[in-house]
Amino acid sequence: MIPSHLMERQILCIAGPTASGKSSRAVMEALARNGEIISVDSRQVYRGLNIGTEKITVEEMQGVLHHLIDVREPEENYSAGDFVQDATRLIEEISSRGKLPILAGGTHFYFDALLNGLPMGTDANPALREELEKLNTEELYARVRSADARRAAELDPSNRRRLIRALEIIEAKGTVPPRSNLGGTYAVEWIVINPPREELRARIDVRLAIALERGLIDEVRRVHEQVGDMRLNELGLEYKISGEFLRGERDEASLLPTLSSKLWHYARRQKAWLRKLGHPIS
């Protein structure tokens, strides 16, 4: 166990692509190193998004205190700025208790915002937003990628709201280099989980099959009734594609293969972000 006086300005970050086992590794590290876990997941903050996000259960937590899970309703917004504010406060609180803050999750833009700083804010641009709203989601993502490939790699390509906001910032300020933030005041240790390619694909398929068996479609139906089509599409690939199935836009035979393919492409984008950290990611 790390002595408490050496942990006061230290954090542990656990990252990896989807379905790589970050949650269980975080619990293992917390038990071994007297830690508490801060979830770095833009969807697990929402109540009721359990199966689609593979949210950790109370039993799986093994008594380890977890933060930033189930802190918002699905119809509420939760931004990277909200995360930075909450995580910074929690890191200080956990450190003050003599414990190790462990940040674990797959929302890499949150990691980037916390450790390197958010780009300076810009006011909304109503004229530009009106123009962008006419584009489909794929066109929005292509425009972000063309203007700022680094920023595009950090975004969920299905989240229209964040894609539009990214384009507003790019229009106003261009490609803004990250500013130093928390990473300059804490010693940051990284654990990057990177299963071999075929193993990861198999893990994604198993995760999806279990999610469907556990009632993913019923969960998506409940969330859809609560938030509607547009917001459902912003809550991630599992919810967007399952929503298409519920609306009759996709047949049952294509549901699992499409989810598997889309999540695999998302995992590859996560790997690209991790490569930028200098970790050997295949």
pLDDT at 91 over 90: yes
What's the Cα-to-Cα distance from 167 to each of 151, 173, 256, rounded to whole Å?
10, 10, 32
Angstrom distance (rounded) from CA 50 to CA 23 = 14
CA geometry: angle 31, 11, 35, nearest 5 deg = 20
Tell me the pLDDT of the chain averaged across its residues: 87
C-alpha dihedral (62, 68, 74, 80), degrees to nearest 10: -140
Tell me the average pLDDT across 172-194.
69
Q: How do residues 227-247 score in pLDDT, each as one tens digit? A: 999 899 999 999 999 999 999
What's the pTM? 0.78
What's the Cα-to-Cα distance from 134 to each of 88, 155, 164, rounded to whole Å?
37, 20, 11
> Quick one: pLDDT at residue 4?
46
Query: Which residue from 281, 278, 272, 264 is spatially nearest to 18, judged by alpha carbons?
Result: 264
Q: What single DSSP character describes residue 46?
A: B
pLDDT at 8 over 80: no
pLDDT at 2 over 90: no
Counting Cβ atoms within 10 Å, is residue 86 exposed (0-12), middle (13-18) or buried (19+)? Answer: middle
Strand partners, 14: 104, 191
Residues 184-187: contacts with CB under 8 Å, at least 24 apart: 185/9, 186/9, 186/10, 186/11, 186/91, 187/9, 187/10, 187/11
Check if the beta carbon of residue 194 is closer than 8 Å to that of residue 17.
yes
What are the strands, taking DSSP E only, across 51-177? 66-67, 100-104
Q: Which of 34-43, 62-71, 120-129, 218-227 has the lowest mean pLDDT?
A: 120-129
Angstrom distance (rounded) from CA 112 to CA 108 = 6
